[in-house]
Amino acid sequence: MSEYVIETQGLTKYFGKTCVVSELNLKVPKGSIFGFLGRNGAGKSTTIRMLLGLVEPSRGSAQVLGKDCWNLSPDDRASIGYLPEGHHVYGWMTIEECGKFQAAFYKHWNSSIFDAVLSHFRLDRKNRAGNLSRGQRAGLCLALVLAPEPELLILDDPALGLDPVARRSLIQSMLYVTRTTDRTILFSSHLLSDVERVADEIAVLDRGTLRASCKLETFRQHVRQFVIRHDGNEPPLPDLPGLLQTFRTDTETSLTFANIGPAEIQRIQVLTGNRIEEVPLSLEDAFVTYVGERGAKSFFTKDLEDVK
């Protein structure tokens, strides 16, 4: 088995004439918690559905656990846990019945994991699934997807609509699952402070195009903000490569860059008489600036690029 549990080559999907996923080359390392980020409509769910063989790619290919995603056998599927967006349940079943129903589809079903997740989310198995709150439904869905002990978990926006307590339980479950190193989680999310807690690696999808695929810390190191302080007369600045955003006040100009190198920083220092200071960005600010309105698709950040 390869060191990657998911690999795609030029994976592309058109709906009619609209390209929703374009030439995606993605690699998800085995044992990682992989955050799949992007705005609404960026193509995350479509990508996930292609990986699971639920949507046929228009072009390109993808392997999941070493198998072609369009030809997954039932046994292959049993080692992939998929939590679709929205926490759907059969409302007329009790929690107990949901468990029995789901278990019937699997050769391997660890009922102690099922019970542990239920109790972690404080669920009573006699309750009807249709009467559960959003957070409780999330807990039930998670119990159902974890009990077969899949090698790879794919969670499509699992935190959507959850309160802070349920989100914390979700994160704890994700960390618990990956305590053995051969388990991998790919999850999409908009909650970047949660992503920061759990993710080793991230990929950023922007209008169908992969814009970053690297360690979380690498991404942060590559999106940097500098503030130039002046007396009201902004020093003249040349065209700067990698400039994502400029923000001006009366006495400050703040510049945010992607992949800026030491040579450029030095150049700005010289031009501004050293009145420049780096201001650290939160992951969320870095992300918003990176995929913001300016929207050039030209920046790409990955681990191999070394700008430090």
Interaction site with other proteins (CB under 8 A): 33, 168, 171-172, 175, 179, 192-194, 196-200, 217, 220, 229, 277, 279-285
Q: Which is nearer to other proteins, 69 or 201 (CB)?
A: 201
Q: Residue 164 CA to chain centroid, in angstroms?
A: 19
Q: Which is nearer to other proteins, 229 or 248 (CB)?
A: 229
Q: How far is the CB of 193 from other proteins (least distance, A)?
A: 4
Which H or E run includes 186?
strand 184-188
Q: Which is nearer to other proteins, 239 or 250 (CB)?
A: 250
The amino acid present at 52, given as its one-letter code, is L
Q: How far is the CB of 128 from other proteins (least distance, A)?
A: 31
Q: Which is nearer to other proteins, 29 or 86 (CB)?
A: 29
What three-state secondary structure class fits 111?
A: helix
Q: Which is nearer to other proteins, 107 or 179 (CB)?
A: 179
Residue showing tokens 């307590």: 165
Q: Which is nearer to other proteins, 194 or 206 (CB)?
A: 194
The amino acid present at 121, given as its one-letter code, is F
- Residue 151's nearest CA partner among 184, 176, 115 is 184
Task: List Cβ<8 Å contacts ≥24 apart for 170-178.
Answer: 170/138, 170/142, 171/197, 171/198, 172/120, 173/117, 173/120, 173/142, 173/146, 174/33, 174/198, 175/33, 177/146, 177/153, 178/31, 178/33
Q: How far is the CB of 194 from other proteins (least distance, A)?
A: 7
Q: How far is the CB of 272 from other proteins (least distance, A)?
A: 13
**Strands lying side by side in the sheet with 201-206:** 80-83, 152-155, 184-188, 33-37, 201-206, 209-215, 301-302
Q: How far is the CB of 251 from other proteins (least distance, A)?
A: 8
Q: How far is the CB of 200 from other proteins (least distance, A)?
A: 6
